[in-house]
Amino acid sequence: MFVEDNRVAMARRTFLGAMAAGVTGAGAQAADKLSARLPAAMVQPGGADVPYGQPSSHEAHVQRTLSTQSGFPVWRTPLQHQHGIVTPNGLHFAVHHNGVPDIAPERHALRIHGLVNKPLRFDLERLMRYPMVSRVHFLECAGNSAANALSPTALDESLGELAGEVSCAEWTGVPLSYLLHEAGLKEGAQWVVVEGADAGSHSRSLPLEALLKDALVALFQNGERLRPSQGYPMRLFMPGWEGNVNVKWLHRLEVTDRPAFTKDESGLYTQVLADGRIERFAFHMEVKSVITNPSGRQTLLEPHGFYEISGLAWSGRGRIARVEVSVDGGRSWVVAQLHAPVLDRAFTRFSLPWQWTGQSAVLMSRATDEHGKVQPLRSEWKRRYAMHSFNHYNAVQAWRVRTDGRVENVYA
């Protein structure tokens, strides 16, 4: 075994200590210089997290826009900032005809009565014990894009301001068929009057057959309990149908042999055709698409450069089969790429690479669904409906890119 001489060991320790002191001094100076070049986030500990996560303060501009032109509050989704197909709960559009009620869940119940063998009452605790399903679907207000339907000139607004009354989320709840079958349906049952527990008792008459096939009593949205503005503690969800039939704050289902022709369905949501006839109970939202980028009030900063045209498409009748994009105002069309997943009655993301030459261009998208339904031009839609009609407007949205890069809403 080798034994180091004490004098040699002491000399070694003295030498190493001196070297270490020198390195430490030089290292500290180098560290000081390096830290001066680093952002504060890399040299100082960050702040504390919060119990319920929030967006970065640097994304505060990404928020819904409020409109009261219709006489009641309409909160619109900023579609131009959405990437992917799922809309965050805090950005989901909302329309409130009679305000947002504050409903204590332990005092709320859903009643099923009318043409049933056994009237039933479901409190939330009981309903939560039923098997649930989750589905990703869009939800669109019947009056979405009303400004483009009614205004004689194209308004210079953002996509969210023009068409933000549509969002897409994962909805989780109990299939309504479970509850209706448990109640037992009597002979002659064909309709269900659905009523909400808001101040206006918003109600709609819906065909029983369709509800048995598709309807949910939704309790969750994107994995968390419904928010008050989305119908907490429970709402009806009918995929692909106009937003107002998806009754929020659901508390009553009356099974009947005929529609009730309520004030909501007879007044606000009856379409008038160009020849004076009416379209009553036009529930489905038709095939539609919008280019989200570039879109209204955005600016392309680099002329003569590469850009990706990106957007969203959806149909209340099924899946999107194809989206075509035009960069010359509709004179020619190119098939865009559809991004997976392509889901039934849900947002579908599409994109197309585009080389901008710096010249004025008019960008348009046109969607086709799996049933062959094609998104119409604005002129085609206007020929079908009366001048004052605006519900279910699904015409092609056009954006003009000016030579200075600014993007604006146009009619084409």
Give 131's contacts (C-beta < 8 A, 6+ positions apart).
174, 178
CA dist list (Å): 96 to 105, 175, 235: 20, 25, 14
DSSP 102: -
Range with the poorest average pLDDT among 9-23, 240-254, 274-288, 317-331: 9-23
Return the beta strands (E) in 143-186 as ranges.
166-175
| Interval 209-236: pLDDT, tens | 999 999 999 999 999 999 999 999 999 9
| Band of residue 18 on the pLDDT scale cut at 50, 70, 90 | very low
Q: Which residues pair with 172 in a beta bridge?
A: 134, 220
| Interval 133-163: pLDDT, tens | 999 999 999 999 999 999 999 999 999 999 9
Q: In what order do the strands lie in the sheet with 348-355?
A: 288-293, 306-314, 348-355, 337-339
Residue 71, Ramachandran bin (φ over 0: left; ψ between -120 and 50: alpha; else beta): left
* Share above pLDDT 90 across residues of the chain, in percent, rounded to a whole number: 84
Where along the chain do its domains lie?
288-410
Sign of CA dihedral 83, 84, 89, 94: positive
Q: Does 207 sit behind a cis peptide bond, omega within 30 degrees of 0 on the bond before it?
A: no
C-alpha 128 chain-centroid distance: 25
CA dist list (Å): 250 to 112, 231, 319: 11, 7, 28
CATH architecture of 288-410: Sandwich (2.60)
DSSP 268: I
Tokens (6 digits) for 230? 């989305």
Number of Cα atoms under 13 Å in the Cβ half of residue 342: 15
CA dist 245 and 354 (Å) reads 39
Residue 99, Ramachandran bin (φ over 0: left; ψ between -120 and 50: alpha; else beta): left
| Band of residue 122 on the pLDDT scale cut at 50, 70, 90 | very high
CA dist 129 and 35 (Å) reads 57
Tokens (6 digits) for 26? 């030089």
